[in-house]
A and B are shown apart, each in its own frame.
Chain A
Amino acid sequence: MKTESRLKRIGTHLLLLILVFINLVPLIIVLSSSLRSPRNMTNPLNWFNEFTLDSFISAYTRMNFPIALWNSMVLTIVSVVFVVLFAAMAAYPMARIRSRTSKFLYMFFLAGLVVPGQMVLIPIIQMIKGLGIPLGQYTPILMFITCSLPFSTFLYTGFIRSGVPEEIEEAAYIDGAGLSTRFWKIVFPLLLPVTVSVIITQGVWIWNDYFFNMVFITKTIDSPLPVAMLGFLGDQQNPAQWNVLFAACILCALPLLAMFFALQKYFVGGLTMGSVKG
């Protein structure tokens, strides 16, 4: 009986290792090629046959890495801060008030999830121009905030309804605290688990988005990482440039990978928020 279960366990490990290998093969090739010098054209299947940072150095300067990284950080952090504030605030009445208006608002926000940004781009640009907002480095932030609202308000509303009982606010109410004190001092701090979830789910897509950035940002100096990657587009057809292209791919993904390994627990918890009953 014991040997049987051990065999089964070894089988599971073996199967998982094969699956992981298939899953990661493209990334292993990318890593192995990026560690070669730009001119090394050996078959990509000969893994790790050279170790040099030449391709990385070349990619680093070509994509203006420090500037692109800074631009990405500014865009993501500013957007996420506003998403957290706006979505948490909007969810408060939607979760607390039981009326038709509140139910309508909830569905109204959620419905926005099905509309793709590509579809409404031209009217959006007109709207932004019409309001006199200049198109440039920070314009994508408006769209990042807007597009993050449907899913974030959904998460916050669900959490307040099931996890933050009204009784918690009673004592403060009796002490004469106003609505906004009750929200910011009592309710908002209790929302921390959802806030983590919103930061992670929305932060990842905002960080990786190339579309709104590509549309609004025209200057190289203003480009965040995914847009800096667009500069390598021509190299796809040119095998002589692959090693540099792959190094650029790694550089582009590195900050988020580092975040993930440092904060793994929060990533896993954040992704499953709202998806498990009870």
Chain B
Amino acid sequence: MNSAIMKKTMYFFVLPALLFYCIFWIFPILKLFQYSITDYNGYVQNFNYVGFSNFKTLFKEEVLMISIKNTLIYTAITVILGNIIALLIAMLLNANIRAKGFYRSAFYIPTLFSAIVVGFIWSYVYMPEEGLIASFFTKIGLAGWDTNFLGSYSKALYSIIAVDIWKNIGVSVIIYLAGLQTVPQEMLEAGRIDGAGKWKLFRFITLPMLATSVTINITLSVINGLKAFDFPFIMTNGGPGISTNTLIFAMYKMAFTDQLFGKAAALGIISFAIIIVITIVCVLTLNKKEVSA
């Protein structure tokens, strides 16, 4: 029966999507591999093949290691802190209280703002002397504190990471909350009667029931972190120095400001490899955990 209904001609339905996807996504990605071994500048279509010299130059320069390190820090903090905060908020919201909808919306609203607007708003929050945090410090008598967040080598990266968490946490909260609502109350009740403490109830009943939400949220935030570009681009321009360069930002700058597209393509290939490996490891680990949970 099945084979009679589900004919191979069905594959024609994939064609429009596949065409767009291959022309505007897959083929350009393949071109990147070609350009990575050339001295192409991105504008003039005559270039020479230079072997692996782009990769060699990259490995000699500081910017590669710093942007790898920054990207990993960015991803680790947004994933871990973002998910813990989101889960805690969702658990508070899951209590039997009124005005749940109001609270949920309040946490979700920042996700509706364009990254451009968020960048403007937080540039003001972080502005030294006159910004929100600086004014607040002055008001409570901490005027002497260093409030130059975005201009500081040690603080700029963490400051933009905080913005990323602020902007994206609403979606995670909503996904966790929906997951929590599927945890059967009777199960928790039974656990309580058997004498399980709060941590044990969470660890052995709630968390396994949340497995799908955890997988989705962590996977999405890992990908989002590894692709981080918006806030270095809008808020710090990668600076001060190169202290907030992420892989994708460094690559963008190499291609468009320095007009070294061959080298940028090589950095793209390295970034691509890093992103793929981390994502695959992450998805496989989570899937294994999800099955065993």
Contact = CB atoms under 8 A, between A and B. Distances in A.
Contact of A89 (B14, B23, B108, B248): B14
Nearest to B111: A204
B13 interface: yes
Interface string A106-127: 0001001111101111111011
B106 interface: yes
Interface string A1-27: 000000001001101100110011111
Interface stretch (B29-37, B49-57, B75-83): B29-37
B18 interface: yes
Given A89-B14, A122-B42, A236 B28 contact: no
Contacts of A260: 105, 108-109, 112
Contact of A153 (B17, B32, B113, B117): B17
Contacts of A121: 252, 255
B20 interface: yes
Given A127-B27, A169-B5, A13 B182 contact: no
Contact of B272 (A119, A124, A225): A119
Contacts of A9: 95-97
A267 B268 CA distance: 35
Contacts of B68: none
B240 interface: no
Contact of B25 (A15, A112, A207): A112
B196 interface: no
Contacts of A131: 23
Nearest to A228: B116
* 8 A-B pairs with the lowest CB-CB distances in the bound complex, closest first: A123-B28, A90-B17, A208-B114, A272-B178, A123-B31, A93-B10, A116-B227, A86-B17
B29 A23 contact: no
B contacts with A: majority SS: helix
Contacts of A114: 223, 226-227, 275-276, 279
Interface residues of B, number: 90
Dominant secondary structure at the A interface: helix
B103 A20 contact: yes
Interface string B88-109: 0100110111010101111111
B130 A253 contact: no
A81 interface: no
B123 A236 contact: yes
Contacts of A35: none
A153 B7 CA distance: 20
B213 interface: yes
A252 interface: yes
A78 interface: no
B179 interface: yes
A105 interface: yes
26 contacts: A13-B99, A16-B89, A23-B110, A30-B124, A44-B132, A45-B135, A45-B139, A90-B18, A92-B13, A97-B11, A114-B275, A115-B25, A115-B29, A127-B28, A146-B21, A153-B17, A169-B5, A209-B114, A210-B116, A236-B124, A242-B124, A246-B121, A249-B117, A252-B114, A256-B112, A277-B212
A194 interface: no
Contact of B24 (A146, A209, A257): A146
Contact of B106 (A24, A43, A109): A24
Interface of A: 9, 12-13, 15-16, 19-20, 23-27, 29-30, 43-45, 85-87, 89-90, 92-94, 96-97, 101, 105, 109, 112-116, 118-124, 126-128, 131, 142-143, 145-147, 149, 153, 166, 169-170, 173, 179, 183, 204, 207-211, 225-226, 229-230, 232, 236, 239, 242, 245-246, 249, 252-253, 256-257, 260-261, 264, 267-268, 271-272, 274-278
Given A97-B10, A114-B275, A253 B261 contact: no
A97 B6 contact: yes
Listed residue (B25, B26, B31, B229) with the most chain A CB atoms within 10 angstroms of its CB: B25
B113 A253 contact: yes
B73 interface: no
B174 interface: yes
B251 A118 contact: yes
Contacts of A239: 130
A22 to B, nearest CB: 10
Interface string B172-201: 001100110010000000000000000000
Contact of A268 (B104, B123, B249, B268): B104
Interface in B259-290: 261, 268, 271-272, 275-276, 279
A27 B6 contact: no
Contacts of A229: 114, 116-117, 120
A261 B95 CA distance: 23
B132 A26 contact: yes
A200 to B, nearest CB: 11
A179 B29 contact: no
B144 interface: no
B96 to A, nearest CB: 7
A93 B11 contact: yes
